[in-house]
Amino acid sequence: MPDRLAVSSADFIRNIGYWQNEAQRAPVSITHHGRERLVLATPDRFQPVSVATPEDAEARAALSRLRSDHASLIESLHEGFLAFDEDLKIRCLNTVVEAFAGVAREELCGALVFSALPQPAASVVAERLQRVQRSRKPETLETGSFDGRYLAVHIFPYGAGVALLFDNITERRVMTARLDECAALETAVRAHSSAAAIKMDSRARVETLDDVFCDWSGFSHADVVGHRFMDLICAAQRREAAELIERVLRECAPYEVKLTMLGKRGEEIPCVVTLAPILTDFVSHGLVAVCVRGAAHSAGQQAA
């Protein structure tokens, strides 16, 4: 502190009121045996002077960019993002959560997880949030709700609180269930002694067939795979079968027809054949035929 007055400690004690007044105008240095011991000054002399430096401006700009990147990252997530404070109240979320919950962001901030997720998923997640808050270890779970939606949730420590990412896996769960049902149906068809399944490509060439058809016809898999399905039909019905296959592929719809199929030794096998397209994005790229032997043929075989 420049331009300060100097006074001995003895003089200061004798005239403390005077030197207090002087200190209002300029700092007073109190000495002891000629050496400065204390300084008496007004409080504003000790307030730090804030001087902006280029480094400070650069740090503020970097912090602003970091916040912008963080916000952009959260909003770009495919998953729903929820961040919670120490009291497990929502302090940050993205638009995925708003769309999923059907609630505006302003209404969700400061609320509990029950406002953002449906029951009973919300109760399950709330219990896991508390556990992660205590243990500071991430957890992953899958849970469902009464409205039929399913969520895959990942909860992890986030600052002093916790955060979670969730993905709506309802479609995946539905597809998995359908695949399981299709697998069961395929197993049932393959185990049926009077039904045979044949898979074809978009040119009606056989890709796979089951053992039941081989038992009926006497053909082996190698005899049939790669050949046209129409070659397995009696000559009088091949044109009808070809037109039906084109119709199935064109209209992307299943059809049923009575056809007479041929065995390896030329024997005729009356069948009811159902053709269905294999669709990808509503475009046919193959078809499946389920062939059931005719009742007359089955009855004759049982009698024999």
Task: Name the residue with higher pLDDT: 186 or 151.
Answer: 151
- Per-residue model confidence as pLDDT tens digits over 219-276: 999 999 999 999 999 999 999 999 999 999 999 999 999 999 999 999 999 999 999 9
Q: Is pLDDT at 302 greater than 50 in this prediction?
A: no
- What percent of the chain clears pLDDT 90, i.e. is strictly above it? 62
Looking at residue 282, its pLDDT comes to 86
Sheet strands (E) in the chain: 5-8, 28-32, 35-40, 80-84, 90-93, 139-144, 150-158, 161-168, 195-201, 206-209, 255-262, 268-280, 283-293
Distance CA 92, CA 109 (A): 7
Give CA 194 to chain center in angstroms.
43
Nearest to 204 by CA among 271, 250, 235: 250
Binned at pLDDT 50, 70 and 90, residue 61 comes out as confident
> What is the pLDDT, as a whole number, of residue 222?
93
Q: Which helix (H) or strand (E) holds 106?
A: helix 105-108
Quote the percentage of the chain above a pLDDT of 70: 93
In tens, the pLDDT along 152-173 reads 999 999 989 999 999 999 999 9
Burial class (CB in 10 A: 0-12, 13-18, 19+), 27: middle
Environment class of 69 (CB within 10 Å of its CB; exposed 0-12, middle 13-18, buried 19+):
exposed
What's residue 301's pLDDT? 37
How high is the pLDDT of residue 2? 55
Q: 77-190 adopts what CATH topology?
A: Beta-Lactamase (3.30.450)
**Per-domain residue ranges for the chain?**
5-46, 77-190, 192-303
Instruction: Yes or no: say if 30 and 37 are a contact pair by the CB < 8 Å rule.
Output: yes
List CB contacts of 45: < 8 A, sequence separation 6 or more.
1, 27
- Band of pLDDT at residue 296, cut at 50, 70 and 90: very low
Give, in order, the Cα–Cα distances in Å from 228 to each of 48, 58, 200.
91, 73, 9
Residue-averaged pLDDT of the chain: 88
Q: Is residue 18 predicted with pLDDT exceeding 70?
A: yes
**Which CATH fold would you assign to the domain 5-46?**
YefM-like fold (3.40.1620)
Query: Residue 257 to residues 207, 269, 271, 290: CA-CA distances in angstroms?
Result: 21, 14, 8, 11
Q: pTM for this one?
A: 0.59
> Strand, coil or helix: what is 258?
strand
Within 10 Å of residue 289's Cβ, how many Cβ atoms? 25
Q: Token pair for residue 242?
A: 């070809």
The answer to whether residues 153 and 131 touch, using CB atoms and an 8 Å cutoff, is no
Would the pLDDT of 45 be above 80?
Answer: no
CATH number of the domain located at residue range(s) 192-303 in this protein: 3.30.450.20
Question: Do the domains at 77-190 and 192-303 have one common CATH topology?
Answer: yes
